[in-house]
Amino acid sequence: MHLGNVNIRTGPSTSYEIITTVTNKDKLIRLKKGINNGESWDKVELENGVIGYIFQKYVDEVEQLPDIEDDFVESDEEININFGNNIIVEGREISGINYNENTVKHIKDSISTDLKIEIVNDKNEILKDDDKVGTNTKILVKRNNEILRKYSIIIYGDSNGDGKINSVDLLVLQRHILEIQKLDTIYQKACNIRKNGGKPTSVDLLLIQRHILGLQQIEQAVKLYNIEDDNIDNIEISNTNLETLAIENVLLYPNFDNNIINYEVEISKDIEKLNILAIPENENAKSEIIGNNRLKEGNNNIKIIITAQDGITKKEFNINVHKRNSKEEGDFLEKQKENKQKLEKTYEAQKVVAQNTQYNKSNKQERKEKRTTLIIICIFILFIITGIIVGIKINKN
C-alpha cells in the first residue's frame, strides 16, 4: 500500500490524535476498512508495528477488500473487562471516578481484566502510575499492539484536562461561555455539572466555584446531579456575590473577598468621588453605589448594595473612606518627604561608611608597607655594622 504525505491517527476521525506521519515511500498493511460518520477510513499497520487509521482518499494504490460499515468499533469480539462499582460506563466514555483517587494506579486497580491496560494523555503519551488522570485521558485495552477498546475519561469540573478542579477551570469555562475560546465536546460534557445533556452555563460555573470554596462538592459517581434544577436555578438567581470590587488608584484594605463585607481606604483631600468597579457574578444581578458623591473630609461610608436576580435577596458591602483634611494632607506629604529624606540620609551615611572603610583599608595597607620598608632598612644597617665589626677583628689579628 503506497501513500502520499498523510497523518496516521489513533481513530477514524480527524478529532483523534496524530500518531505519526507517513510519506508515499512507506508501505502499510491494511487490516480493515470501514465508514465512520460517512467518511471512509482504513485501519492499517506500519512496518514498525504501529497500528492506526488513515483517510482512504489519500490512498493511491490498495488491495481491494469488501466494504465493512462497522463505524470502526475497535474490535467486534467480546472482551472480559469490568470496572469498579462507582464507575459509570456510557458507550466509550467513563465517569464516576473519585476525584481524590484519580491517579493512574487507582484507575488500573479499579479495572478487572486479563488484557493489557494503558492509560495515555491527549498527546497519546503513556502516563505513569502516580500521574493524575483528567478529562479526555484515554484508557486503552490492548492485546499485543492491537487496541480492542478505547475509553475517554470525564472528570466533572475539570475543564482543561489536568485532573484538578481549581480557578483555572473557572477561567476556561468562563471563556467558553463568553465565546472567547470554545471547548471541545468532551470538555463541554465535563463542565455540564448537572449532567442533563445540555451545554454548560453560568449555573455550572457557580457549581464549580462552590466546589472550589468547599461549599458543595461535585459528585462524580451519579448519572444526574443530586440537586433539582429548580433548586440550582434558585441558587443562581439568588446569587449576590461580586465578581470584582476595585477602586481606581486606591488600595482596598483588606484585599477583596466575597466573604468580607467591610473595607477601608484612605484618600487625598482633593478627591471628591471614587471610581468604583463593582461587577456582580450573576450578570442579571444589580449593583447600587450609595454615598460616593461629594466626599467630605474625615470619615465617609460608601455602601455597595447587590440585588440578586430574584429582586429580593440582597447583600451589602461597606467601604469606610477616610479623606484627609489639610493638616493631615500636610502631615502625610511631610511624612512622605521625611521618609524620602531618611532614605537619602541613610544612603549618604552608608556612602560615608563605605568611603571611610575604603580609606581605612588604604591607610592600613600604607602603614603595612612602611613597616615592611623600615624592617628591611634595619636589617640592611645591621648587616653593614656586623661586617664592619668582623673587619676590625681581622685587622687586629
- Domain range 242-324, CATH class: mainly beta
State how beta strands 262-267 and 314-323 pair.
parallel
- What are the boundaries of each domain within the chain? 2-61, 87-237, 242-324
pLDDT of residue 72: 47
What is the model's pLDDT at position 316?
92
pLDDT at position 68 = 38
Answer for the pair 207, 232: CB distance below 8 angstroms, yes or no. yes
Specify whether the CB–CB gap between 163 and 224 falls below 8 A.
Answer: no
* Neighbour order of strands in the sheet with 6-9: 18-22, 6-9, 51-55, 39-45, 29-36
Question: Distance between CA 206 and CA 141 in Å, rounded?
Answer: 36
Domain over 2-61 is classified CATH 3.30.360.10? no
DSSP 295-346: PPSEEEEEEEEEE-TTSS-EEEEEEEEEE--HHHHHHHHHHHHHHHHHHHHH
- What is the predicted pLDDT for the residue at 368? 72
> Does 2-61 match 242-324 in CATH topology?
no
Give the pairing of strands 112-113 and 81-82: antiparallel
**121-to-7, 133, 156 alpha-carbon distances in Å:** 19, 8, 17
Report d(CA 197, CA 186) in Å as an integer.
12
pLDDT for the residue 63: 45
Residuewise pLDDT in 10s, the chain (397 residues): 444 578 888 888 887 788 888 887 777 777 777 776 667 788 888 877 777 888 877 765 544 444 433 444 455 567 888 888 888 888 888 998 888 888 999 999 989 999 999 999 877 788 999 999 999 999 998 888 778 888 999 999 999 999 999 989 988 998 888 888 888 889 999 999 888 777 888 788 888 888 888 888 888 877 665 554 445 555 667 788 988 899 988 889 999 988 899 999 999 999 999 999 988 988 888 899 999 999 999 999 999 999 888 676 788 999 999 999 989 988 888 887 877 777 676 666 666 666 666 666 666 677 777 777 777 777 777 777 777 776 666 665 5
Strand partners, 287: 306
The DSSP code sequence of 366-386 is: HHHHHHHHHHHHHHHHHHHHH
* Strand partners of residue 250: 247
The architecture of the domain spanning 87-237 is Orthogonal Bundle (1.10)
| DSSP per position, 123-144 | T-PBPPTTSBP-TT-EEEEEET
